[in-house]
């Protein structure tokens, strides 16, 4: 019994579709998604992967099939049949990619808009003069703004990000912290104001699916709400000089408590009532006050310091 060829074509089509749908969700090419935005980006990536898998199987399948089916038999010296053009086929294989590209364009625009790509402005909680300052030298705002899902009434954590040869510097206007690592609490909207001091850099966190050029003299922003605790690499993704490859940092997404502890441990010293002065005369401080900024990271409190070798540093300072 011979199975009709259109039935075989249908079955092959179903198998290719099923394999494509499965592989589109199980390609394993992406790192974990640490934000809702990242999940949306994965949606479009998986969709493109599904289409690409189907096309690959179709094109390679036909190729391999034809290689075997239409191979030259022994003793066959004839030419192949002269086939010239096929208008319906031309129309079909122009129309299908056109439709696919249109769907992808609409889908990606939708995702970009959802992420805040059309609205990369600093949130309304920022004082107006700050907004004016941020946009004074740019006609078009760059980056990804706060998305609709992120404007949930929680004031965003604003961090100034400076790219320089060869490091990232993170300044927190809220607490005055300056750090070489980026710490953010989970589920709180974050707005990064990104700039560069020397040459082009690019701020990239694969797990957030976000990348933004850092441009000297021009501000850009990236907004996101991380929803998965963990440590993620921050990579400079723009060749910026000899040590570009070493321009790496880490994004720490932490729970509220861990983040609060980090803020407490890294707050500038003047927060501890040492006044606004840049230089503090240590003679006016008790032992505990003098040593606590240095001992804090070791988990030693001012009280326990006071019990160890009282007046120790005064005796040393007496020589100056």
Tell me the closest approach of the beta carbon of residue 184 to Cu ion, in angstroms. Answer: 21
Other CB atoms within a 10 A radius of the CB of residue 279 amount to 5
User: Residue 213, SS3?
Assistant: strand
Beta bridge partners, 160, equal 171, 193
5-64 binders of Cu ion (CB under 5 A): none
Q: Which three-class secondary structure state does DSSP give residue 305? A: helix
Stretch that binds Cu ion, among 85-93, 120-128, 237-245, 273-281 (CB under 5 A): 237-245
Residue in this structure with the two tokens 């040590």, named with its chain if needed: 243
Per CB under 5 A, the list member of 33, 194, 240, 305 interacting with Cu ion is: 240
Q: To the nearest whole angstrom, how small is the minimum distance from the Cβ of residue 213 to Cu ion? A: 10
Q: Give min distance, CB of 223 to Cu ion, in A.
A: 21
Question: Token match 């880490």: residue?
Answer: 250
Can you tell me the distance from the alpha carbon of 192 to that of 178, in angstroms, rounded to the nearest whole number?
Answer: 14
When the beta carbons of 150 and 213 are compared against Cu ion, the nearer one is 213
Judged by CB, which is closer to Cu ion: 201, or 209?
Answer: 201
Q: What is the largest CA-CA distance in the chain?
A: 107
Residue span binding Cu ion (CB under 5 A) among the ranges 36-44, 120-128, 186-194, 201-209: 201-209
For residue 236, state whether it binds Cu ion (rule: CB under 5 A): yes
Residue 213 engages Cu ion in binding (rule: CB under 5 A) = no
Question: Is residue 201 close enough to count as binding Cu ion by CB under 5 A?
Answer: yes
CB 70 within 8 A of CB 64: no
- Closer by beta carbon to Cu ion, 163 or else 185: 163
The residue ranges of DSSP E strands in the chain, in sequence order, are: 142-144, 157-164, 167-172, 177-179, 182-185, 190-196, 201-205, 210-214, 220-224, 230-236, 248-254
CB of 199 to Cu ion, least distance (A): 7
Contact 52, 21 (CB under 8 A): no
From the CB of 238, what's the least distance to Cu ion, in Å? 6
Residue 122 beta carbon to Cu ion: minimum distance, rounded to whole angstroms: 24
Q: Binding-site residue total for Cu ion (CB under 5 A)?
A: 4
Q: Which stretch binds Cu ion (CB under 5 A): 147-155, 200-208, 257-265, 296-304?
A: 200-208
Closer CB to Cu ion, 186 or 201, in the complex: 201
x/- track of binding to Cu ion for residues 272-291 (CB under 5 A): --------------------
Distance CA(9)–CA(2), nearest Å, equals 14
DSSP label at residue 76: -
Q: In this structure, are residues 219 and 167 in contact, taking their beta carbons and an 8 Å threshold?
A: no
With respect to Cu ion, which residue has the nearer C-beta, 210 or 247?
A: 247
Q: Which of 209, 231, 235, 232 is nearest to 222 (CA)?
A: 209
Nearer to Cu ion, 34 or 214 (CB): 214
N-terminal to C-terminal alpha carbon distance within the chain: 106
Q: What is the DSSP code (8-state) at residue 154?
A: P
Position 235 contacts Cu ion (CB under 5 A): no
Residue 190 in the binding site for Cu ion (CB under 5 A): no
Out of 157, 221, 234, 247, the only residue in the binding site for Cu ion (CB under 5 A) is 247
Smaller CB separation from Cu ion, 49 or 210: 210
CA distance 111 to 116: 9
Question: Which residue lies nearer to Cu ion by CB, 196 or 253?
Answer: 196
Footprint on this chain of Cu ion (rule: CB under 5 A): 201, 236, 240, 247
């Amino acid at each position: 019994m011979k199975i009709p060829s259109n039935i075989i074509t249908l079955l092959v089509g179903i198998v290719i579709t099923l394999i494509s749908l499965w592989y589109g969700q199980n390609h394993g090419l992406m790192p974990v998604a640490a934000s809702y935005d990242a999940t949306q980006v994965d949606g479009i990536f998986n969709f493109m992967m599904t289409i690409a898998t189907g096309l690959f199987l179709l094109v390679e399948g036909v190729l391999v099939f034809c290689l075997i089916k239409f191979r030259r038999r022994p003793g066959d010296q004839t030419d192949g049949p002269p086939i010239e053009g096929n208008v319906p086929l031309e129309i079909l294989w122009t129309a299908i990619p056109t439709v696919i590209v249109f769907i992808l364009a609409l889908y990606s625009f939708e995702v970009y808009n959802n992420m805040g790509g059309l609205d990369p402005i600093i949130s309304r909680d920022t004082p107006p003069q700050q907004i004016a300052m941020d946009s004074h030298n740019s006609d078009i705002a760059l980056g990804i703004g706060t998305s609709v899902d992120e404007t949930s009434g929680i004031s965003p954590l604003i961090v100034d990000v400076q790219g320089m040869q060869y490091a990232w510097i993170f300044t927190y206007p809220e607490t005055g912290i300056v750090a070489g690592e980026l710490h953010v609490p989970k589920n709180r909207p974050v707005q990064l104001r990104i700039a560069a001091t020397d040459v082009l850099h690019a701020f990239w966190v694969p797990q957030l699916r976000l990348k933004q050029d850092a441009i000297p003299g021009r501000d850009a922003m990236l907004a996101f709400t991380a929803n998965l605790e963990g440590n993620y690499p921050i990579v400079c993704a723009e060749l910026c000089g000899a040590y570009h490859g070493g321009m790496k940092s880490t994004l720490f997404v932490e729970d509220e408590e861990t983040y609060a502890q980090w803020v407490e441990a890294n707050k500038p010293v003047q927060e501890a009532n040492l006044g606004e002065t840049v230089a503090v005369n240590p003679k006016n401080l008790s032992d505990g006050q003098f040593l606590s900024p240095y001992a804090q990271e070791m988990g030693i409190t001012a009280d326990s310091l006071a019990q160890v070798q009282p007046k120790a540093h005064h005796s040393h300072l007496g020589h100056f």
